[in-house]
């Protein structure tokens, strides 16, 4: 075998290996360094809201058809509201009853205040009577002492034959009369003191009754607040019998029909909101020079030859695999490196006549004019 036959294959293999390693090592920088980054992994997107019920009931009317355009606040589905109107009426009646009980308690408080005033007047009267009885006792007491002293003196004189029997009898009568008067005045004082004690006890009882009415007042006010809250809940539930469009858009598909029984959380219609954007899934190696605000050209497969323009609104904070139901675990021993895709949100410039014809799910081809390379070039020159 000649040397040429051996050297040529070796040189060829070496050149191919060098070229392979060069491409492998520089491919990422070459791919990310392009000023225009293109991907066909792009689709039209829009906010899609599955509208559900908040209450249970029977569908009375479905006011829209599949794929029909709707305006904000437009009624889409109506549920039978007889039960909820009855619940609202019951809550209002309960509120009226609670207010009547509060008003009745206010009247009872006014009556009780009058009783307290009467008891206070009775105390004043009893105090006056007691003071008068004390004054009567004080007025009679000196006469009692005087007549008792006179009786003792007359007894002594009668014993010494210095006074007559008539004088002794007169002194005895005077002493007995004033003693009886003192006993009567003392009895009046005891009765006045008892009446004062009774009046004070009655006043205390009336005040406690008044305090009990104040407690009832607080209970009735709390009941009124509860009834008012029940009315709010009943009104809210009544409003839930009408499912309305939260924004402008189009109905995707109806999931209920008239007469159908629905439960809370059941999906009734899908609403596709009017504003659309483009979601372009770029490989991570293509994002080197892409920046927020970069201009983009969008070609929709449905409209060949038409180029829409827009700009980069946001770049996803994580790759699509991280939002998957089962994110990959790259810490396992069977790791294989796979280039990840990062969603890039592109907002289209307004005013194009085709905007109203775009539908979520349309395929697109997106080319972003990356500004990062230009920034790096200007920075190196400076």
**Where a domain ends, among 182, 209, 239?**
239
Is the model's pLDDT at 339 over the cut of 50?
yes
Are 353 and 257 in the same domain?
yes
Q: Please, which pLDDT band fits residue 24 given cuts at 50, 70 and 90?
A: low
Number of domains in the chain: 2
Residue 54 lies in a domain: yes
**The pLDDT value given to residue 302:** 93
Do 210 and 273 have their domain in common?
Answer: no
Give domain status of residue 208, yes or no. Answer: yes
Residues 6+ apart with CB under 8 A from 311: 293, 294, 295, 296, 346, 347, 349
Q: Is 90 exceeded by the pLDDT of residue 286?
A: no
Residues 190, 336, single domain; the answer is no
Within this chain, do residues 47 and 168 fall inside the same structural domain, yes or no? no
Q: Which of 218, 239, 260 is the last residue of a domain?
A: 239
Give me the CATH number covering residue 293. 2.40.30.170
Lowest mean pLDDT among 16-20, 264-268, 323-327, 336-340: 16-20
126/84: higher pLDDT: 84
Residue 377: per-residue pLDDT: 52
What integer pLDDT is reported at residue 21 of this predicted model?
A: 60
Structural domain contains residue 326: yes
Count of positions (residues) in the chain: 382
Handedness of CA 340, 342, 343, 349 (dihedral sign): negative
| Residues 66 and 111 placed together within one structural domain of the fold | no
Domain boundary among 239, 260, 275: 239
- Residue 5's pLDDT is 61
What per-residue confidence (pLDDT) applies to 144? 67
Torsions phi, psi for 330 (to 5 deg): -80, 5
* 214 and 342 inside one domain: no
Q: Is the domain of 182 the same as that of 227?
A: yes
Domain annotation covers residue 315: yes
Looking up residue 95, the CATH number of its domain turns out to be 1.10.287.620
Which tokens sit at 248? 């402008």
Residue given tokens 């006014």 in the structure block: 110
117: containing domain:
83-239
Report the mean per-residue pLDDT for the chain.
83
Q: Is residue 77 part of a domain?
A: no
pLDDT digits (tens, 9 = 90+) for 154-165: 677 767 776 677
Q: Comparing 162-166, 336-340, 341-345, which segment has the lowest mean pLDDT?
A: 162-166
Contact 294, 315 (CB under 8 A): no
* Residue labelled with tokens 């509860």: 226
Whether residue 298 is found in the same domain as residue 154: no
Residues 99 and 208 in one domain: yes
Q: Is 327 found in the same domain as 211? A: no
In a domain, 244, yes or no: no
Q: Do 161 and 210 sit in the same domain of this protein? A: yes
pLDDT classification of 33: cutoffs 50, 70, 90? low
Residue 20 domain-assigned? no
Chain segment 231-241, per-residue pLDDT in tens: 999 999 999 99
For residue 337, what pLDDT is reported? 79
pLDDT computed for residue 27 by the predictor = 46
176-232 confidence digits (pLDDT tens): 776 777 677 777 777 878 877 887 888 788 888 888 888 888 889 999 999 999 999
The residues, ordered by sequence, that sit 6+ positions from 70 with a Cβ below 8 Å of its Cβ are 64, 76, 245, 248, 249, 250, 251, 271
For residues 233 and 315, state if they share a domain.
no
H-run or E-run covering 135: helix 82-159
* For residues 288-317, average pLDDT: 93
Higher pLDDT, 38 or 185: 38
N-to-C CA span, the chain: 60
Confidence of residue 262 (pLDDT cuts 50, 70, 90): very high
pLDDT in tens, 109-130: 888 888 888 888 888 887 887 7
The mean pLDDT of 262-291, rounded to a whole number, is 90
Task: Judge whether 18 lies within some domain.
Answer: no
- Write down the pTM of the prediction: 0.63
């Amino acid at each position: 075998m000649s040397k040429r036959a051996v050297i040529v294959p070796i040189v060829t293999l070496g050149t191919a290996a060098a070229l392979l390693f060069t491409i492998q090592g520089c491919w990422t920088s070459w791919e990310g360094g392009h000023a225009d980054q293109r991907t066909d992994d792009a689709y039209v997107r829009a906010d899609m809201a599955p509208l559900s019920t908040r209450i249970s009931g029977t569908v009375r009317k479905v006011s829209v058809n599949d794929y029909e355009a709707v305006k904000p606040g437009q009624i889409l589905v109506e549920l039978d509201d007889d039960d909820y109107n009855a619940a609202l009426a019951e809550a209002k009646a309960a509120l009226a009853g609670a207010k009547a009980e509060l008003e009745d308690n206010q009247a009872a408080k006014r009556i009780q205040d009058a009783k307290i005033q009467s008891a206070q007047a009775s105390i004043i009267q009893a105090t006056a009577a007691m003071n008068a009885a004390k004054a009567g006792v004080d007025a009679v007491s000196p006469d009692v002492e005087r007549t008792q002293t006179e009786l003792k003196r007359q007894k002594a004189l009668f014993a010494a034959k210095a006074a007559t029997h008539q004088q002794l009898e007169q002194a005895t009568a005077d002493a007995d009369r004033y003693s009886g008067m003192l006993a009567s005045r003392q009895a009046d004082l005891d009765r006045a003191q008892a009446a004062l004690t009774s009046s004070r006890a009655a006043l205390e009882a009336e005040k406690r009754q008044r305090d009990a009415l104040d407690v009832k007042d607080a209970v009735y006010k709390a009941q009124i607040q509860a009834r008012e809250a029940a009315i709010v809940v009943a009104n809210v539930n009544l409003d839930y019998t009408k499912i309305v469009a939260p924004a402008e858009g189009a109905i995707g598909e109806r999931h209920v029909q008239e007469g159908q029984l629905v439960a809370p959380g059941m999906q009734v219609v899908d609403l596709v909101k009017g504003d659309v954007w483009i979601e372009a899934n770029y490989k991570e190696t293509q994002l080197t020079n892409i920046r927020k605000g970069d201009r983009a050209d969008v070609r929709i497969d449905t409209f060949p030859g038409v180029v829409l323009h827009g700009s980069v609104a946001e770049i996803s904070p994580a790759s699509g695999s991280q939002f998957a139901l089962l994110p990959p675990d790259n810490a396992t021993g069977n790791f294989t490196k796979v280039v990840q895709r990062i969603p890039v949100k592109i907002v289209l410039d307004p005013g194009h006549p085709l905007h109203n014809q775009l539908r979520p799910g349309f395929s697109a081809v997106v080319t972003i004019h990356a500004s990062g390379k230009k920034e790096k070039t200007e920075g190196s020159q400076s």
